[in-house]
Amino acid sequence: ELQLSDRVNSIKPSPTLAITSKAAELKAAGKDIIGLGAGEPDFDTPEHVKQAAMQAMNEGFTKYTAVDGTPALKKAIIEKFKRDNDISYEPNEILVSVGGKQSFFNLAQAFINPGDEVIIPAPYWVSYPDMVIMAEGVPVIVKCPAEQDFKITPEQLEAAITDKTKLLVLNSPSNPTGMIYSLDELKALAEVLKKHPQVYVASDDMYEHIRWTSDKFYNILNAAPELKERAIILNGVSKAYAMTGWRIGYAGGPAKLIGAMKKVQGQSTSCPTSISQVAAEAAISGDQNVLDPMIAAFEQRCDLVVDGLNAIKGITCLRPDGAFYVYPNIVPLIKAAGLKSCTEFSAWLLEKVGVAVVPGDAFGLGGHMRISYATDEATLKDALARIEKAVAELD
Ligand code: PLP
């Protein structure tokens, strides 16, 4: 019998990708399904970005590039970090990868030893724990309930740190909650980190631009620039510029760590796609006003979905300030349906009214579901009406 590696047996398939493909499967079989599981903008990639890629292709820019990204894209990323985040990096402190997912994968492979602990506040992006496990590290999950806006507190961080702690992962705006850490909250977390010089911090800023706070965007280095030598900032073009399929992410961090991540990448994917790198450069250094209509649409949909959900008995939903997800509490509904978990409730919802959502269990904090509102308003209204109908039958 074929024996798979212990490594692959220790991880699970991405639950969000699984829901998305399950919904697509049911749709293809002729069922009337609304998929609210996908983590990608429904908008098209901006025209000037596509044009840049086409020009690159026509000019024959279709070969391997430098492993860590083209000098032109790295320059654009360095300028972006300066412009948007007030962080200065040298070229050897930047690595371009095949999506934000590969950036974190490289980080885990380059940085985590067997038994090293990585603190991951829950609810978390589904891939962090599994990528840590693949690197033989130990994910230390810290539950952050709705009462604290799904954010880790300094007290929780302090309590979770041990001699084995190597890394803290922060993600703001958050997938799956849309919550954003304020500058003061980041400062308080930084105070704890300063007391523990062995702990590094990964800031996943993937949803930086998808935000409707009046405040500026802040990450941990804005709160504590002195942490720069132990901070790694992860970002990418996938979500902000509706470029999920182009597969470009990037990281900024200490040269030694970035160099090690580059070594991992050089033995796995070689380099990101040449054409996509030109497209990403156009996105990052081009007109940023192209983001405005997308952000305005997300904000409007956010209101629609939050209000719609809160109007349904048994659902309580916080109002996020960013990303394109909501993470409502559905504990009363799980009980009313006589079910045991939000995973069972999600299956029930799909079966009953054809609405696909991702259960909170996938993100490490059950009793909730994640709804992605990266879809048009008519579809969202239809989905809300269906959820209401399903729930009404529970009385
Ligand atoms: N980080 C977060 C928080 C995400 O939600 C995602 C995508 O779902 C990623 C990183 C990775 O994005 P990509 O690999 O598509 O660039």
**Structural domain includes residue 212:** yes
Q: Is residue 23's pLDDT more than 90?
A: no
Confidence of residue 20 (pLDDT cuts 50, 70, 90): confident
Do 140 and 207 fall into the same domain? yes
**Structural domain includes residue 361:** yes
Q: What is the pLDDT of residue 285?
A: 97
Least confident stretch, 19-28, 182-191, 213-222: 19-28
Q: What is the pLDDT of residue 167?
A: 98
Cβ atoms of 320 and 305 closer than 8 Å: no
For ligand 1, atom 12: residue with the closest CA? 100
Q: Report the distance separating Cα 367 and Cα 365, nearest Å.
A: 7
Residue 337 has which token pair? 């349906």
Q: What is the pLDDT of residue 141?
A: 98
Q: What is the pLDDT of residue 14?
A: 75
How many whole angstroms from its chain centre is CA 237?
12
Q: What is the pLDDT of residue 12?
A: 81
Residue with tokens 């974190």: 104
Secondary structure of 133-170 as H, E, C letters: HHCCCEEEEEECCHHHCCCCCHHHHHHHCCCCEEEEEE
Do 114 and 89 fall into the same domain? yes
Number of domains observed in the structure of the chain: 2
**Residue 120 CA to ligand 1 centre (angstroms):** 15
For ligand 1, atom 10: residue with the closest CA? 100
**Structural domain includes residue 222:** yes
Q: Which amino acid is at 88?
A: S
**Residue 286 CA to ligand 1 centre (angstroms):** 22
Q: Can you tell me the mean pLDDT for 218-240? A: 98
Q: Is residue 255's pLDDT more than 80?
A: yes
**Structural domain includes residue 90:** yes
Q: What is the pLDDT of residue 318?
A: 98
**Residue 105 CA to ligand 1 centre (angstroms):** 11
Q: Which atom of ligand 1 is nearest to the CA of 104?
A: 10
**Residue 247 CA to ligand 1 centre (angstroms):** 10
Q: Can you tell me the mean pLDDT for 77-97? A: 98
H helix intervals, 34-170: 47-58, 71-85, 99-111, 127-134, 154-160
For ligand 1, atom 8: residue with the closest CA? 39
Report the share of the chain in percent with pLDDT over 90: 92
Q: Report the distance separating Cα 64 and Cα 301, nearest Å.
A: 41
Do 203 and 167 fall into the same domain? yes
CB atoms within 10 A of CB 155: 10
For ligand 1, atom 1: residue with the closest CA? 206
Report the share of the chain in percent with pLDDT over 70: 100
**Residue 56 CA to ligand 1 centre (angstroms):** 25
Best mutation site among 120, 125, 205, 325 for ligand 1, i.e. most ligand atoms within 8 A of its Cβ? 125
Do 222 and 313 fall into the same domain? no
Confidence of residue 22 (pLDDT cuts 50, 70, 90): confident
Do 83 and 196 fall into the same domain? yes
**Residue 89 CA to ligand 1 centre (angstroms):** 22
Residue with tokens 């009313």: 336
Q: What is the pLDDT of residue 224?
A: 98
**Structural domain includes residue 384:** yes
Q: Report the pocket of ligand 1 as residue ranges, CB < 6 Å.
A: 39, 99-101, 125, 171, 175, 204, 206, 236, 238, 244, 249
**Residue 16 CA to ligand 1 centre (angstroms):** 11
* Domain end among 257, 286, 315: 286
Least confident stretch, 34-43, 55-64, 260-269: 34-43
Best mutation site among 107, 175, 205, 276 for ligand 1, i.e. most ligand atoms within 8 A of its Cβ? 175
Do 359 and 253 fall into the same domain? no
Burial of 302-320, coded b for 16+ CB within 10 Å and e otherwise, reads: beebbebbeebebbebbeb
Q: Is the ipTM of this complex over 0.85?
A: yes
DSSP 3-state assignment of 228?
A: helix
For ligand 1, atom 5: residue with the closest CA? 175
Do 137 and 171 fall into the same domain? yes
Q: Is residue 19's pLDDT more than 80?
A: no
Condensed to tens digits (0 to 9), the pLDDT of residues 291-325 reads 999 999 999 999 999 999 999 999 999 999 999 99
Q: Report the distance separating Cα 253 and Cα 235, nearest Å.
A: 12
Q: What is the pLDDT of residue 88?
A: 98
Q: What is the pLDDT of residue 93?
A: 98
Interaxial angle between packed helices 342-353 and 15-28, expressed in degrees from 0 to 180 and rounded to the nearest 10: 20
**Residue 392 CA to ligand 1 centre (angstroms):** 35
Q: Which amino acid is at 72?
A: A
Cβ atoms of 77 and 251 closer than 8 Å: no
Among residues 244, 210, 269, 205, the alpha carbon closest in space to that of 77 is found at 205
Q: What is the CATH number of the domain that holds 294?
A: 3.90.1150.10
Do 115 and 248 fall into the same domain? yes
Q: What is the pLDDT of residue 21?
A: 80
Provide the edge-to-edge strand list for the sheet that holds 369-372. Answer: 325-326, 369-372, 358-359
Q: What is the pLDDT of residue 165?
A: 98
Q: Cα-Cα-Cα-Cα dihedral of 42, 48, 54, 59, to 10°?
A: -150
* Domain end among 286, 319, 342: 286
Q: Which atom of ligand 1 is nearest to the CA of 174?
A: 3
Q: Which atom of ligand 1 is nearest to the CA of 238?
A: 16
Q: What is the CATH number of the domain that holds 169?
A: 3.40.640.10
**Residue 336 CA to ligand 1 centre (angstroms):** 34
Q: Can you tell me the mean pLDDT for 354-374? A: 96
Q: Which atom of ligand 1 is nearest to the CA of 249?
A: 16
- How high is the mean pLDDT of the chain? 96
**Residue 249 CA to ligand 1 centre (angstroms):** 8
Of the two residues 21 and 180, the one the predictor is more confident about is 180
Q: Is residue 159's pLDDT more than 80?
A: yes
Condensed to tens digits (0 to 9), the pLDDT of residues 321-356 reads 999 999 999 999 999 999 999 999 999 999 899 999
Condensed to tens digits (0 to 9), the pLDDT of residues 96-130 reads 999 999 999 999 999 999 999 999 999 999 999 99
Q: Is residue 275's pLDDT more than 80?
A: yes
Q: Which atom of ligand 1 is nearest to the CA of 236?
A: 16
Cβ atoms of 290 and 46 closer than 8 Å: yes
Domain that holds residue 159: 63-286
